């Protein structure tokens, strides 16, 4: 379970942790009175019907670019299309043994863009990830919307957080674009487990191209405006706005970890999604949250939430994984 105790004893959970694991962890922490910090995970949202409303028969419908959709139907659609790829033996178990990969990255735009333009580009290049997996010794293959990712190379090269892909029991990942195209993840090109990053390649048909996002050349300054395109609790393709709040380092035995905190909202299900600046460049990748409580002595339940710090992985760490082609 991708969780850790940062300084101060607060448990920071990742934004793409599996929902049943996160629920079990939170229940245990509350029972023990331990201080907890939240993480974006990935369960289907409640979508409670209005009192007296009739039940609606949902269908596995593909989303259409620029058109509204029902989140539940998107999940049904992604699983249905993913199972076709699984049956065709195109969904593969991934390995994480490479640290770097040769890539030619797109350069960020020199001029500032309007926020609607940034949002449209982010939406077109952001993916929904689904994972097929088995539990324990069971032979039944389950499906779960894992989190998000985004395209950085038009040939299907993408980035996400490594913790969204389980290593034990996983049969592989599939990815869906905003316009409903579903592709299997073919292979991991580079993995950085310490900084929780993954660069992977989609298995695209010949001559298929995808909209891609550039990576920022430098860290985003504190106070600069940013947007997040993410999937909080399976509310797919939701845009939030905010600013860069601070840059920080977590000192750990395995080495320092850099994070960029932002004020734009995200929640479980958002791990691996992009944070963009006003030039449409990715400056961060959604990673984890930390909940701050006023009275937190570790002996009673946390009832007085004051603030949630939202941590992202700086995009310059992705550039360190890339070598010249």
End-to-end CA distance of the chain: 35
Domain presence at residue 148: yes
d(CA 152, CA 210): 9
Domain presence at residue 162: yes
Domain count, the chain: 1
What pLDDT digit, counting tens, does each position of 108-135 carry? Answer: 988 999 999 999 999 999 999 999 998 8
Question: What integer pLDDT is reported at residue 12 of this predicted model?
Answer: 66
Residues in a beta bridge with 24: none
Domain presence at residue 321: no
Average pLDDT, the chain: 86
d(CA 273, CA 286): 5
- Does residue 33 or residue 232 have the better pLDDT? 232
- Does residue 61 or residue 49 have the better pLDDT? 61
Domain presence at residue 317: no
Taking the mean position of all CA atoms in its chain, how far away is CA 5?
20
Question: What integer pLDDT is reported at residue 26 of this predicted model?
Answer: 36
Chain position carrying tokens 């999604």: 273
Q: Could you give the percent of the chain with pLDDT greater than 70?
A: 83
- The residue range of the domain holding 117 is 71-213
Question: What integer pLDDT is reported at residue 6 of this predicted model?
Answer: 40
Question: What integer pLDDT is reported at residue 57 of this predicted model?
Answer: 84
Contacts of 307 (CB under 8 A, 6+ apart): 291, 292
CATH number at residue 112: 2.40.10.10
Question: What integer pLDDT is reported at residue 306 of this predicted model?
Answer: 92
Domain presence at residue 164: yes
Q: How many CA atoms lie within 13 A of 241 on its CB side?
A: 6
Question: What integer pLDDT is reported at residue 44 of this predicted model?
Answer: 40
- Does residue 43 or residue 280 have the better pLDDT? 280
pLDDT at residue 42 tops 80: no
Residue 101: C-alpha distances to residues 34, 137, 193, 312, 319 (Å): 41, 34, 15, 22, 10
Chain position carrying tokens 């289907």: 44
Question: What integer pLDDT is reported at residue 302 of this predicted model?
Answer: 73
| E strands in the chain | 3-4, 12-14, 101-102, 126-133, 142-153, 157-160, 170-176, 182-192, 197-202, 225-230, 238-250, 257-262, 274-276, 282-293, 305-314, 322-323
pLDDT at residue 31 tops 70: no
Residues in a beta bridge with 305: 293
Domain presence at residue 78: yes
Question: What integer pLDDT is reported at residue 54 of this predicted model?
Answer: 72
Domain presence at residue 90: yes
Question: What integer pLDDT is reported at residue 110 of this predicted model?
Answer: 86
pLDDT level of residue 255 (50, 70, 90 thresholds): confident
Chain position carrying tokens 């735009």: 109
Q: What is the pTM of this model?
A: 0.85
Question: What integer pLDDT is reported at residue 5 of this predicted model?
Answer: 36
pLDDT at residue 206 tops 90: yes
Domain presence at residue 251: no
Question: What integer pLDDT is reported at residue 48 of this predicted model?
Answer: 56
Taking the mean position of all CA atoms in its chain, how far away is CA 93?
19
- Which helix or strand (DSSP H or E) is residue 262 part of? strand 257-262
What pLDDT digit, counting tens, does each position of 139-186 carry? Answer: 899 999 989 999 999 999 999 999 998 777 899 999 999 999 999 999
- Residues across the chain: 325
């Amino acid at each position: 379970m991708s969780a850790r105790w940062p300084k101060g004893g607060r448990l920071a959970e990742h934004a793409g942790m599996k929902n049943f694991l996160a629920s079990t962890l939170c229940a245990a922490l509350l029972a023990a009175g331990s201080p907890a910090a939240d993480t974006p995970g990935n369960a289907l949202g409640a979508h409670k019907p209005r009192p007296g409303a009739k039940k609606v028969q949902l269908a596995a419908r593909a989303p259409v670019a620029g058109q509204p959709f029902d989140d539940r139907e998107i999940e049904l659609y992604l699983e249905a299309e993913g199972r076709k790829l699984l049956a065709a033996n195109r969904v593969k178990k991934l390995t994480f043994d490479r640290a770097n990969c040769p890539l030619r990255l797109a350069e960020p735009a020199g001029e500032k863009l309007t926020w609607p333009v940034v949002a449209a580009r982010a939406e077109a290049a952001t993916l929904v990830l689904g994972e097929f997996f088995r539990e324990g010794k069971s032979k039944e293959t389950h499906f779960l919307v894992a989190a998000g990712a985004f395209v950085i190379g038009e040939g299907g090269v993408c980035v996400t957080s490594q913790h969204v892909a389980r290593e034990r029991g996983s049969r592989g990942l599939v990815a869906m674009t905003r316009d409903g195209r579903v592709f299997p993840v073919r292979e991991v090109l580079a993995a950085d487990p310490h900084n929780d990053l993954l660069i992977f390649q989609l298995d695209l048909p010949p001559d298929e191209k995808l909209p891609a996002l550039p990576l920022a050349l430098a860290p985003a300054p504190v106070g600069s405006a940013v947007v997040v395109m993410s999937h909080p609790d399976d509310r797919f393709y939701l845009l939030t706005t905010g600013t860069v709040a601070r840059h920080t380092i977590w000192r750990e035995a395995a080495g320092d970890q850099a994070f960029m905190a932002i004020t734009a909202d995200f929640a479980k299900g958002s791990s691996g999604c992009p944070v963009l600046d006003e030039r449409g460049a990715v400056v961060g990748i959604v990673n984890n949250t930390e909940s701050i409580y006023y009275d937190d002595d570790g002996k009673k339940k946390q009832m007085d939430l004051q603030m949630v710090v939202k941590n992202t992985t700086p995009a310059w760490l992705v550039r360190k994984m890339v070598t010249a082609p």
